[in-house]
Amino acid sequence: MEQAQKHTAVGSSDARLVTGVPGFDTVLGGGFPAKHLYLIQGLAGSGKTTLACQIGFIQAKQGRKVLVVTLIAESHAKLLGHLANFAFFDGSLVGRQVLFFGGYPALAQGGLRELLTFLSTCLNQHKPDVMIIDGFRSVRDSRPSDLALSEFMHSLNALVAAMECTTFLLSPIEGNIAESENTLVDGLVELSQYGDGVRTIREMRVYKARGADHLLGKHVFEVIQTGVVVYPRLEAVATRTNTASTASDKRVAFGIPAWDALTKGGVAHGSITNLIGTPGVGKTIMGLHFIQQALRDNEPCLILGFFESPPRLVHKAKAVGIDLDDAMRDGRLEMLWYLPLEVLMDRLAAELFENIDRRKVTRLFIDGVEGFHDVAVHRERIRSFLIALVNGLRVRNVTTIITQELPYFKESYGRSDSSESVLYENMVLAKATEIGGVDRRLISIVKLREGGYDPSRYEMIISDTGITIGDRVTALGRSDLRSKEAQ
């Protein structure tokens, strides 16, 4: 039934060819308008052939016929051997739904006119839904003049439209240049590689797609065993959807009784809390208390970390009386862990939201916002990326704690210290300091929206049973309140 619906969609006047390539259709605004001519360009090794053939095999698996015409010296056997390494490849479709032809002899013998005749014959004989022409460089190199190339492009465009065949040309150039193949196609997709020091990132840009509301700008992608995976730029997707979050009167507890009392029951459901603190002050442990409370309430939880692996984090939790083993086994808690090295920021966000949506996660602990800074390729994206990320969490009503490091030498924290402070409804400051010759941990609330709170500083004590909140600490370091835990 699904396959029949897809064929009906392709035959309609406003038909879309949904590529099926993960993330690509989001960038395209739903897919390629069908029956048109498109150019996929990029230098050697950028992934053009892999992307086009992945689209072709996905269409073939849905019952459509695909024609692959090569204009390059590479043999079909070699090309098929390369494609066989990917999960999208299905050898049983070759020769039946996916047909391979060599067009270079026609081009070499009779130029552009003979190639056009060859393509017309193939289209009339096999009536494919999709055609891929690989090696368009040969066409450019063989043109006797710019006018001849323009005439060829006009004729090819008319041919594929008349035959109702969505066609992709693969060309090894970059840039939106004023050439015939760029101006006379209905869509232009560029695959490129961006060098960040010794690191190389694959990026995609849709310059145009007539009839499609595509996402502008660059989007990262990977070529992995499953094929091409595109990760639409998070800020672009969030801007397009522009979904507003809802307010809630429900309070969510931290799981530390005295601290919950000081915050009048915790934080608002679905809000984002920024827990700022000096190294070793107990930020991670406080986040683990937050997760433990959710598990007591039988809520599905998620931890995203960069610096401590899941086994080390479970071990750390046990050391302060928090046992996460059962929750990990029964699926109430999962952990996503990424070394903050060569990780694509948009991939990280995509996998985070996929886990939240699939498991209906209600509480999230992100241990170390610095991880996002470390993996960012374009540093100027950090702020806008985080805006999109936290809004996505709010829209999903995920109550979240995000930790952030405060250097030892900082004596105080002001809102001007972090341009990211406006991202969070709630901010908590925890710092290690020396008072009267004794090292002590202090905790206070910087801001707490949608609820009253005590802004005083309190001593935070960590033991093998976790965190407790001690006395209020004055500016001179004297305690003027009995232990909250004793109360």
Q: How confident is the model at residue 211 (pLDDT cuts 50, 70, 90)?
A: confident
Report the pLDDT value the prediction gives residue 142, as an integer from 0 to 100: 78
Delimit the CATH 3.40.50.300 region(s) of the chain. Answer: 2-232, 251-473
Mean pLDDT of the chain: 89
Average pLDDT over residues 393-399: 96
The pLDDT of residue 418 is above 60? no
What are the pLDDT digits (tens) for 355-386? 999 999 999 999 999 999 999 999 899 999 99
Report the pLDDT value the prediction gives residue 487, as an integer from 0 to 100: 39
Q: How confident is the model at residue 5 (pLDDT cuts 50, 70, 90)?
A: very low
Report the pLDDT value the prediction gives residue 212, as an integer from 0 to 100: 87
Question: Distance of CA 299 to CAs 295, 315, 467, Å?
Answer: 5, 22, 21
**Percent over 70 (pLDDT), the chain:** 90
Residue 429 neighbours by CB under 8 Å, 6+ apart? 276, 277, 406, 413, 443, 444, 445, 446
**Percent over 90 (pLDDT), the chain:** 71
Q: Show the beta-strand stretches assigned E in 246-319.
A: 251-252, 267-268, 272-277, 301-305
What are the pLDDT digits (tens) for 124-155? 999 999 999 998 888 877 777 778 888 999 99
**Listed range (195-204, 307-316, 396-405) with the worst mean pLDDT:** 195-204
Question: Distance of CA 131 to CAs 66, 107, 225, 270, 275, Å?
Answer: 6, 17, 24, 48, 54
**Listed range (33-47, 167-181, 231-245, 382-396) with the worst mean pLDDT:** 167-181
Residue 119 is encoded by which pair of tokens? 């393509």
Report the pLDDT value the prediction gives residue 454, as an integer from 0 to 100: 81
CATH of domain 2-232: 3.40.50.300
Closest by Cα among 383, 382, 324, 334 to 357: 334
Tell me which architecture the domain covering 251-473 has in CATH: 3-Layer(aba) Sandwich (3.40)
Backbone angles phi, psi at 479, to 5 degrees: -90, 130
What are the pLDDT digits (tens) for 281-314? 999 999 999 999 999 999 999 999 999 999 999 9
Average pLDDT over residues 188-206: 92
The pLDDT of residue 264 is above 50? yes
pTM of the model: 0.88
Q: Which amino acid is at 89?
A: F
Report the pLDDT value the prediction gives residue 249, as an integer from 0 to 100: 84
Residue 157 neighbours by CB under 8 Å, 6+ apart? 37, 184, 185, 186
Report the pLDDT value the prediction gives residue 148, as an integer from 0 to 100: 87
Q: How confident is the model at residue 51 (pLDDT cuts 50, 70, 90)?
A: very high
Give CA–CA dist 374/306, Å, rounded: 10
The pLDDT of residue 156 is above 50? yes
Q: How confident is the model at residue 11 (pLDDT cuts 50, 70, 90)?
A: very low
Q: How confident is the model at residue 412 (pLDDT cuts 50, 70, 90)?
A: low
CA atoms within 13 A on the CB side of 445: 20
Type and span of the H or E element at 105? helix 104-126
Q: How confident is the model at residue 178 (pLDDT cuts 50, 70, 90)?
A: low
Residue 88 neighbours by CB under 8 Å, 6+ apart? 53, 54, 57, 58, 226, 227
Report the pLDDT value the prediction gives residue 6, as an integer from 0 to 100: 38
Q: Quick check: 466 and 321 in contact, CB under 8 A?
A: yes
Report the pLDDT value the prediction gives residue 7, as an integer from 0 to 100: 38
Residue 23 neighbours by CB under 8 Å, 6+ apart? 219, 221, 229, 230, 231, 232, 350
Bigger pLDDT: 239 vs 244:
239
Closest by Cα among 87, 105, 18 to 55: 18
